[in-house]
A and B are shown apart, each in its own frame.
Chain A
């Protein structure tokens, strides 16, 4: 019985350790209350569009288009951090691209990252 008990313990310990490690990103959400307040803001919003550009998904920042996260991160590093950044996600791209854009903004040093669903 002790053998079986130890095997069970070993099984549950190993399966717990083998679970995929998870982390999280915490973008703010642009609430209706914020929308009313932000109209009075002095800052020009910096917006990253996550959308299909041609056949493939990509990122648009102003007039620039990026196909991968590394290039987007590099471009975001050069922007002022105080106004924050809006990640405007269109419906037809995969979640992976939306989350990658949030991660790129965080990696570039933005504290204020706002997730905005495209209309």
Chain B
């Protein structure tokens, strides 16, 4: 019987690659999903250049309403007219039966070069549905 001596035994440091690849793939999936989700909810707009309220942890809004420079209303990558938007907001209100519509939080992302006419129409619609506040998105100047 032949024993392996200490000198013969190769002292190598094995790095486990498999768990690292698993983690890397999970990270890729995370970033891909969030990027895709952000693209769906947030249209490419030139937002007003303002600091905003600088809250440490701003609450996320459920419904994100995008208003393009041309006045088009886009929600979740789909174009809506005012009637369609009204239906969406009503559904959002029904999704939260415990809280009154005055407390419903929406995010309005309006292009800074768009005329306020469209934004005003959206606000009037929200007013008619008794929605008490809306968040106006801004782009923080670098």
Contacts and interface: CB of A to CB of B under 8 A. Distances in A.
A29 B132 CA distance: 5
Nearest to B138: A23
A117 interface: yes
Chain A CB count within 10 A is highest, among B47, B50, B123, B126, for B50
Interface stretch (A39-47, A76-84, A88-96): A88-96
Contact of A24 (B117, B131, B137): B137
Nearest to B30: A12
Contact of A5 (B25, B31, B137): B25
Nearest to A114: B133
B82 interface: no
Contacts of A26: 53, 133-136
A87 to B, nearest CB: 11
A94 B21 CA distance: 50
Contacts of A25: 50, 52-53, 135-136, 138
B69 to A, nearest CB: 9
How big is the B interface, by class? 35 or more
Contact of B112 (A19, A20, A95): A95
Nearest to A51: B116
Contacts of A16: 31, 34-35
Contacts of A2: 17, 21, 24
Nearest to B107: A24
B17 to A, nearest CB: 7
Interface of B: 17, 21, 24-25, 27-28, 31-32, 34-35, 38, 47-55, 58, 67, 102, 107, 110-117, 119-121, 123-124, 126-128, 130-140, 142
Given A13-B31, A22-B137, 8 more contacts: A12-B32, A25-B135, A26-B133, A26-B136, A91-B120, A92-B116, A103-B51, A117-B116
Q: Which 5 A-B pairs have the closest CB atoms?
A: A23-B52, A12-B31, A117-B120, A91-B117, A96-B112
